[in-house]
Amino acid sequence: MVPHLVTALTGPINELEQRVLDSMPAIERWFRLEWMEHTPPFYCSVDVRNAGFKLAPVDTDLYPRGWNNLTPSMLPLAVQAAMAAIEKICPEARNLLIIPENDLRSTFYLSNLAQMRRIFHMAGLNVRIGSINPELKKSTVLKLPDGETLTLEPVTRTKGRIGVKDFDPCTILLNNDLVTGVPGILEDLNEQYLLPPLHASWSTRRRSTHFKTYEEVAKRFGKLFGVDPWLINPMFDRCGGVDLGTDDGVEALKARVDTLLAKVKKKYKEYGIKEKPFVVVKADDGHNGMGIMTVRDGKELSVLREKVLARAKATRGSTEVDLIFQEGVLTHERMNGAVAEPVVYLMDRYVVGGFYRMHAERAQDEDLNAPGSSYVPRAFAESTHLPQPGLRPGASAPNRFYMYGVVARLAMLAASYELEATDPEADHHA
């Protein structure tokens, strides 16, 4: 039986939290057993949104950047989790090659790389950073604002193995989501562990596949622990191959958006929520070039249409798009007056930290991970691992963070299922 938890605006999440806290040993045991059967992604970060009445993941990044935003007190957790991850994958590992994004102009991103190097060095690996950007012809030293330096070396391929000069890694860690496609240099490697596997990149991944799997995970979790899955699951709809160059295409989309909005409205009514429902429109294949749009009515899609047409004109591309409409989850959290959303970092099966992504110029129903915008990450003051049994949920920050960690791990579990389902080497008839 799935209970309907409450009707008051701030009520349900507190009851949800209470239920999750009360079930903690059972939840942890459930995760433990799930990870016996399924391999967690090597690392990931999950954007979580807390609407007060609902707490849900809205994005799961399998090539997480932003490790530099973890506080020093979270580093040991990351190092310990990295040790556990390496031990499982390749205990004999000596050398790790990190392959970063091709564009290294952001000093924030360089700080992220420096932090990743630190974590894996402390976990017991010789770490080098190798770029697959074909424009990088020779080893280059990059300087960080704090004076630290990073040596970026061109990746070379010999006998089916990749490496950098005098460095043959047994493990390669990608921090590049390959949104523009898989370069040949990474394909068919000879006895080298490539983490995450290529089918975790946006060349294969679809947001709708992830959220379909997440929906199943949320349902199972809801059934086991007596929680309405909707309280942790954003509803969604996928629209593939829609031609925004035709009126029929646009009309079809509008109808789909309005249907989803109606479903959300129904849920809001059921819980007595007075907010206006909205839907977030994203590219299904991870390309964020067209932006992420907030829509409150199917009619607003004409703006999207204009954007897509303008872009098609500029790039001579197609006007066909694969979209995902996702139930918008408000963020009710504020840090210093700015809208904030928690981002949870995971390594192997462990929650190792997190921070708040803040955006002073965005509203509570807008995407905060806006490309090019400045945001100020704020580390969680407390660990995500430490609920305080007996304390009132709302009154206790650590309890809130435990809940974030549970939801983030549900998203990670969904990613694990997703990668199993999309693994080209798996025997799906088994």
Query: Least separation, in Å, of the C-beta of 217 and a second copy?
Result: 18
Of 20-28, 249-257, 258-266, 412-420, the window that binds a second copy (rule: CB under 8 A) is 20-28
Rounded Cα distance, 206 and 186, in Å: 20
Q: Find the shortest distance in angstroms from Cβ 43 to a second copy.
A: 15
Binds a second copy by CB under 8 A, chosen from 84, 198, 312, 335: 84
By CB under 8 A, is residue 395 in contact with a second copy? Answer: no
Q: How far is the CB of 120 from a second copy (least distance, A)?
A: 9
Tell me which stretch binds a second copy (CB under 8 A): 257-265, 275-283, 309-317, 385-393: 385-393
Nearest one of 126, 118, 212 to 164, comparing CA atoms: 126
Single out the segment in contact with a second copy by CB under 8 A; choices: 38-46, 84-92, 156-164, 317-325. Answer: 84-92
Question: Distance (Å, rounded) from C-alpha 143 to C-alpha 111?
Answer: 10
28 binds a second copy (CB under 8 A): yes
Candidate list 16, 27, 239, 244; residue touching a second copy; CB under 8 A: 27
Which residue lies nearer to a second copy by CB, 37 or 427?
A: 37
Separation of alpha carbons 225 and 142, rounded Å: 50
Among 360, 363, 342, smallest CA distance to 351 is for 342
Q: Does 129 bind a second copy (CB under 8 A)?
A: no
Listed in sequence order, the residues at least 6 apart from 378 whose beta carbon sits closer than 8 Å to its beta carbon are 335, 340, 355, 356, 358
Restricted to residues 327-366, the positions that interact with a second copy (CB under 8 A) are 350
Shortest distance (Å) from residue 385 CB to a second copy: 4
Is 83 a binding residue for a second copy by CB under 8 A? The answer is yes
Instruction: Indicate whether 122 belongs to the interface with a second copy (CB under 8 A).
Output: yes
* C-beta of 93 vs 368, nearer to a second copy: 93
Candidates 16, 19, 31, 403; binder of a second copy (CB under 8 A) is 31
Segment interacting with a second copy, rule: CB under 8 A, options 91-99, 234-242, 330-338, 419-427: 91-99
393 binds a second copy (CB under 8 A): no
Q: Is 32 in the site for a second copy (CB under 8 A)?
A: yes
392 is a contact residue toward a second copy (CB under 8 A): no
Instruction: Using the minimum distance from each CB to a second copy, give the nearer residue, 122 or 312.
Output: 122
Does the footprint of a second copy cover residue 384 (CB under 8 A)? yes
The backbone region for 241, taken as left when phi is positive above 0, alpha when psi lies in -120 to 50, beta otherwise, is: left
Q: Which of 363, 386, 391, 395 binds a second copy (CB under 8 A)?
A: 386
Q: How many residues bind a second copy (CB under 8 A)?
A: 41
Q: Return residues touching a second copy (CB under 8 A).
A: 24-29, 31-33, 35-36, 72-73, 75-77, 79-81, 83-84, 86-87, 91-94, 121-126, 350, 382-387, 389
